Amino acid sequence: MIWEKEADTAIKKVPFFIRKKVRKRVETCVTDKGGNRVTLADVQTLKKKFLSKGGMENQIKGYDVSACFGGEGCPNSVTPSTAQLIKDIETLMEKSNILDFLKSRVKGDLKFHHEFRVSISDCPNACSRPQITDIGIIGAALPRITGEPCSQCEACVDVCPEQAVHLNDEGPEINTEICLACGKCMRACPGDTLDTGKAGYRVLLGGRLGRHPRLGIEVPGILSHGEVLNLVRRCLEFYKNNARNGKRFSHVLESISQID
Ligand code: SF4
Ligand code: SF4
Ligand code: SF4
């Protein structure tokens, strides 16, 4: 999709937390018309729709699942199956009928900030900002020392951004206290000394921005695809059982102070 300069300038004025979503909506409208070029008029048309009475509410589906660009070939991606996880979480959200739930609980028009948000990043660089969403998911792969001979080339030491790899005479040692499971060291190893160990996702719960920002709190361990889905399902149930008047997930978590 080509964006004309004026259209691009206009979209950059949209608040950052909904910019990606609005950009996608504009592109969908242009595609539906059979076009492949976004003009300023396209952006303005959607803006009018949003600002008309109830216009924003018509665009809201009750949840938002966003992801980084890892699935489009980012070399840092450690989780090739993220696309499937996104689909599965969207299906789960759809089935949970969160939109009707929000409509029944929010006084007045629904707004984007009422939506339940999940953000997925394919590595700890966290480009999609999973730390400040209701549920943040980060791709993770721990290194495994295989016992195969080490050439002492130091590639793993040099590439680790956390200084979590140390070499001794037998080979590498990983400091698991500070390792962020980014997978860089095993990708850098020219031999078979380092391999992929436990792989899956780290999960953060209850992050937000706004007047009283809060980073999501990390659930211990690396979770499998199935465990992530199960956790998302439980969080949705918890939210629906405890949220009043459109309160964000993070506020509900704070008020209850713990989740089983
Ligand atoms: S979070 Fe990681 S994998 Fe995703 S786009 Fe950023 S650097 Fe790439
Ligand atoms: S997985 Fe990443 S953070 Fe952990 S030791 Fe390897 S390079 Fe360092
Ligand atoms: S990159 Fe592999 S071969 Fe090189 S020092 Fe590290 S473990 Fe040994």
Within the chain, strands assigned E span: 2-3, 37-38, 63-67, 116-121, 135-145, 165-168, 171-174, 194-205, 217-223
- pLDDT value at position 42? 86
Q: What is the pLDDT of residue 57?
A: 64
Pair 195, 144: CB distance under 8 Å:
yes
Low-confidence ranges of the chain (pLDDT < 70): 17, 50-58, 257-260
Confidence at residue 70, expressed as pLDDT on a 0 to 100 scale: 83
User: Is residue 141 lining ligand 1, measured as CB closer than 6 Å?
Assistant: no
d(CA 97, CA 110): 15
Identify the pLDDT of residue 229: 97
Distance 159 CA to ligand 2 centre (A): 8
Q: Are 37 and 72 within 8 A, CB to CB?
A: no
Q: Is 123 in the pocket of ligand 1 (CB under 6 A)?
A: yes
Closest ligand, as measured to the CA of 188: 3
Check whether domain 144-197 has CATH 1.10.3720.10, yes or no: no
C-alpha distance from residue 216 to each of 118, 202, 232 (Å): 11, 11, 14
Quick one: DSSP state of residue 112? G
159 lines ligand 3 (CB under 6 A): no
Give the pLDDT of residue 260.
45
For residue range 117-168, list pLDDT tens digits in order.
999 999 999 999 999 999 999 999 999 999 999 999 999 999 999 999 999 9
The ligand whose atoms approach the alpha carbon of 77 most closely is: 1
- Domain formed by 1-52, architecture: Orthogonal Bundle (1.10)
- Domain range summary for the chain, segments of one domain joined by +: 1-52, 144-197
Do 218 and 203 form a contact (C-beta atoms < 8 A)? yes
What's the pLDDT score for residue 259? 45
- Residues near ligand 2 (Cβ within 6 A): 143, 159-160, 162, 164-165, 174, 179-185
